[in-house]
Structure 1
């Protein structure tokens, strides 16, 4: 559990802007309204209406939402989008208050971080590198896992936001980029575990075993893992007409395993198992499964289920 919760959450006048009210942004913003003043912007009018209904103060632009706040929470797809949101034509960096912080919750890799830190410093703004895991349901409940790399004073500025969102808050180091580094290692394992679970369950199907009984037996033994238990039921439903509910898109692991590959190459480290998993996600994307749940990777290995 996060530390210093009582002290750091006693901040009735703390204001945070959430730019992007999508699948993760809206539940995070809604969670934050329980203690903080929350400003928001999204290009979708439907998402803006949902935000307004949840008590989020809506604005007509990202720049308007980001003015006069203590922190801005960003969930972007990659380093290029991060740079555009902050420093592009309509970037928000120019309107941020000196002494405020930008909390980056996305997995973008370490390469984009140094330039972002340097550019923000010119405005008197610090970056809090805080990639997270957990999905929309856990975001709404404040049950996310967040790893943080930030200078101590910047971390304290961001604590009212982080502690409302996290059930597990791990301070990795005092440098932005440390959070991205640990999240990269985390995604290496997650990506491999999902691919391995799909491969194992595809083999069970090919051998004529009952899928549900196989999953239950595997979970109870030494082969069990969080990802097997979490993704297993969704892997088994991947062949259904509607497929598994999309809780984490397959193309997210195309991105994240790409970040893993770049990191291992930069470090001069061989990662053959991660590279093989990355190829499965790339094949899935090429086969039109990018927007499907990542459990659909089993359909790359076995396009047709043999047992029913």
Structure 2
């Protein structure tokens, strides 16, 4: 099967590498960064800089870019992938976006004679590298059947939410409410402990062994303890994703006060110049308010 992955970022690279390992796959990866393409080529894939340079007759394309606008450009823009796809190819879009954007992209794909799967993912860079992502998918039976070999190669579980495009994206937006709030409250707890005189490493060890822990606390607070701002997932991602939560909530007249507060904390960190840093460093918003000294500083 001729497969392409557009976007070899923290999750896209992991997905692409697992596809290379899957039997019967000829995999091309698209990314503008030369070093990233070289890394992928060294692993056995084919790297291209533009979606328009993907192999002709590509049968499935997995899109792992930041948002709906990037996905649309990568697929249907002047240098997009659509002309390189085989008739009836399946387009699998795993970018986080508003449900209405997923429906619009699906309609455009179907008008071009392609199948479409709305398939956001979770699991982060580590899960992607391990082929252990969780997929929240919706699409027609034909689209899901054609996408199955690709999704099985990159995930531990594929949840099928129905045939209508947008259901997968709705589930991802709801999921991101939890992810964003959990990161923000993990940072709040760590910041409060530091301000109150607790040793941050000891705080971390106690919380992770007790009932107040969360996956996000366990996963993100080590970045703060190490002073490592390298963005495995950036503050800017949750500015976007929690914004999508607010948009969805307003569209169904539903209050989300905790998500709104967490969103403002990420916006605050971004306003302070930390948007490109690891999302754990939303803790900088608390640092600005309280003057705390973070681990590895001073």
Q: Which residue of 2 aligns with 1:8?
A: none
Alignment of 1:1-308 (within 5 A): 14-35=1-22, 36-59=25-48, 61-65=50-54, 67-237=56-226, 240=227, 243-303=228-288, 304-306=291-293
Kindly provide the CA deviation profile for residues 215-253 of structure 1, in whole angstroms up to 9, marking residues without a partner as x. Answer: 22222332121112112222333xx3xx34422111110
Q: Unpaired runs of 5+ in structure 1?
A: 1-13
- How far apart in 1 are the matches of 2:222 and 2:49? 41
| Deviation larger for 291-300 or 84-93 | 84-93
- How far apart in 2 are the matches of 1:223 and 1:137? 23
Calculate the TM-score normalised by the size of structure 2. 0.92
Kindly provide the CA deviation profile for residues 12-39 of structure 1, in whole angstroms up to 9, marking residues without a partner as x. Answer: xx11011232333222212101121102
Calculate the TM-score normalised by the size of structure 1. 0.89
Against the structure 1 CA distance between its residues 92 and 201, is the aligned structure 2 distance closer, same or farther, given a 3 Å change threshold? same
Please provide the CA RMSD for this pair: 1.8
- How far apart in 2 are the matches of 1:245 and 1:88? 31
CA contact (8 A) 1:208 1:306 kept: no
| Deviation larger for 60-69 or 169-178 | 60-69
Per the TM alignment, residue 192 of structure 1 is displaced from its structure 2 partner at its CA by 0.5
Per the TM alignment, residue 137 of structure 1 is displaced from its structure 2 partner at its CA by 2.9
Against the structure 1 CA distance between its residues 85 and 204, is the aligned structure 2 distance closer, same or farther, given a 3 Å change threshold? same
- How far apart in 1 are the matches of 2:49 and 2:201? 49
Q: Unpaired runs of 5+ in structure 2?
A: none
| Deviation larger for 254-263 or 70-79 | 70-79
Per the TM alignment, residue 307 of structure 1 is displaced from its structure 2 partner at its CA by 7.9
Kindly provide the CA deviation profile for residues 155-191 of structure 1, in whole angstroms up to 9, marking residues without a partner as x. Answer: 1100111111101222222222111111101000110
CA contact (8 A) 1:208 1:307 kept: no
Against the structure 1 CA distance between its residues 220 and 58, is the aligned structure 2 distance closer, same or farther, given a 3 Å change threshold? closer
Against the structure 1 CA distance between its residues 220 and 59, is the aligned structure 2 distance closer, same or farther, given a 3 Å change threshold? closer
Per the TM alignment, residue 213 of structure 1 is displaced from its structure 2 partner at its CA by 1.8
After TM superposition, the runs of 4+ consecutive aligned structure 1 residues lying more than 6 A away are none
SS in 2 for 1:55: coil
Against the structure 1 CA distance between its residues 222 and 204, is the aligned structure 2 distance closer, same or farther, given a 3 Å change threshold? same
- How far apart in 2 are the matches of 1:141 and 1:295? 22
Kindly provide the CA deviation profile for residues 129-167 of structure 1, in whole angstroms up to 9, marking residues without a partner as x. Answer: 111122223212211121111112111100111111101
CA contact (8 A) 1:96 1:123 kept: no
- How far apart in 1 are the matches of 2:74 and 2:294? 48
- How far apart in 2 are the matches of 1:77 and 1:102? 16
Kindly provide the CA deviation profile for residues 27-78 of structure 1, in whole angstroms up to 9, marking residues without a partner as x. Answer: 2212101121102222222222222211112346312315312200111221
Aligned residues: 291
SS in 1 for 2:9: coil
SS in 1 for 2:21: coil
CA contact (8 A) 2:14 2:129 kept: yes
